[in-house]
Amino acid sequence: MKKTLSSLTVAVIAAFAAQGAMAQAASAPTRAEVKKETAAANKAGQIPGTGTANVPDAAAGQQSPKEKAATSTTTRDDRKKSTAAANKAGDIPGTGTANVPAAATGQQSPAQAAATSTTTRDDRKAATAAANKAGTIPQTEAQMQSPKK
């Protein structure tokens, strides 16, 4: 009985070990194999956006950023000048230099809010000092989570 039980146990363990070895051999490819396949696909031009030929139809007609920069006829100085002019004219949202619609930025920039404020700096400092003395300004993370009532 003992001999049969131990023989059965050995047979079961051997079966599971063999199954594990087979599963490991049939598992995903190694990192080196994946890198080799990727390099071959890149060289063959099968990966879109790498600037190589034979790009699939889904990515046809698209240039990589590197290709776009290489085909530009505008100099860097010209781009800097046009950007500075657009910024000065207020055509670039979020720079806080012009009257950009609130929908474009979501809110006023701090520079715009300060420019439209009617409160003086001394008034703001006095109000902040009074609020701090009254204890309404949270000092720690815990106070910020549960403010005084």
pLDDT tens by residue, 91-143? 877 665 555 555 555 566 677 777 777 888 899 999 989 988 888 877 777 66
Cα–Cα distance, 90 to 81 (Å, whole number): 14
66-77 confidence digits (pLDDT tens): 777 777 788 889
Q: Look at residue 36 and tell me whether its pLDDT is greater than 90.
A: yes
Mean pLDDT confidence for 79-101: 75
Residue with tokens 């879109």: 48
Cα–Cα distance, 66 to 35 (Å, whole number): 23
- pLDDT for 58: 47
The pTM for the full model equals 0.24
Give every CB contact of residue 79 below 8 A, 6+ residues apart in sequence.
none
Give every CB contact of residue 136 below 8 A, 6+ residues apart in sequence.
147, 148
Q: Look at residue 32 and tell me whether its pLDDT is greater than 50.
A: yes
Longest dimension (CA), the chain: 98
Residue 138: how many CB atoms within 10 A of its CB? 13
Helix (H) or strand (E) holding 6: helix 2-25
Share of the chain above pLDDT 90, in %: 13
Residue that wins the pLDDT comparison between 65 and 58? 65
Distances (CA, A) of 21 to 11, 15, 118: 15, 10, 78
- pLDDT for 144: 67
Give the mean pLDDT of the chain: 74
Query: What single DSSP character describes residue 59?
Result: G
Share of the chain above pLDDT 70, in %: 56
- pLDDT for 143: 67
